[in-house]
Chains A and B, each alone.
Chain A
């Protein structure tokens, strides 16, 4: 049982490039979410999903897209990277008793 996995661990992008951050969980959780963490601001919700085929926006969705074609996978797409998207990104999944499990994070730098 790997829990929540994220790839890559580190990424450097140039402004305007696009990329996809991968997230997968093997716990059969319906609820998955993406957060970004910036210094002094805690974690902010980007997008979330309550099940395959269902996604919705969080606090800071602009510049990001998500899809949920399977229960296991919840990729986050950066459409045109900007320096303001430099951050640490965490994926999480939640079980039926509402315990939330976080992935190891992706540290993204946009130059």
Chain B
């Protein structure tokens, strides 16, 4: 059974600090996605990582993928309050018919 584990599940951090969210998965994957969700809203796509070693950056967020370690990271640099949200990773497995399996999500609170 495919498992996708995120940690931490809850992260409270001060503005200006750096931190990393981890996403581990239990089987070989071709693609990994990161999404952001604000309270009461839908999911917004942040990054699509398509190959081993892929690194993408958007503003204060940077995502990377290591398919050999079955690990993706979402790094937050110099956090600001506007980054407060829930962040999900999701793994796409070809053998599962390209179905996405989501992690439980990381609730991020940035305190000013």
Contact = CB atoms under 8 A, between A and B. Distances in A.
Interface of A: 31, 33, 35, 40-45, 48, 50, 56, 58-59, 90, 94, 97-105
Contacts of A56: 97
Nearest to B9: A40
Contacts of B43: 43, 90, 102
Query: 9 tightest CB-CB pairs across the interface, nearest first?
Result: A42-B102, A43-B102, A102-B43, A42-B104, A102-B42, A104-B42, A42-B105, A105-B42, A45-B99
Nearest to B50: A98
A100 B4 CA distance: 18
B31 interface: yes
A43 B88 contact: yes
B42 A103 contact: yes
Given A48-B97, A48-B99, A90-B43, A98 B88 contact: no
A41 B98 contact: no
A35 B48 CA distance: 19
A22 B41 CA distance: 18
A104 B31 CA distance: 24
Given A40-B104, A90-B43, A99-B45, A58 B99 contact: yes
Interface string B47-80: 0101000000000000000000000000000000
Contacts of B31: 98
B94 to A, nearest CB: 11
Contact of A90 (B42, B45, B48): B42
Contacts of B100: 33, 43, 45, 100
Given A42-B105, A90-B42, A90-B43, A98 B99 contact: no
B90 to A, nearest CB: 8
A59 B2 CA distance: 11
B33 interface: yes
A100 B88 CA distance: 13
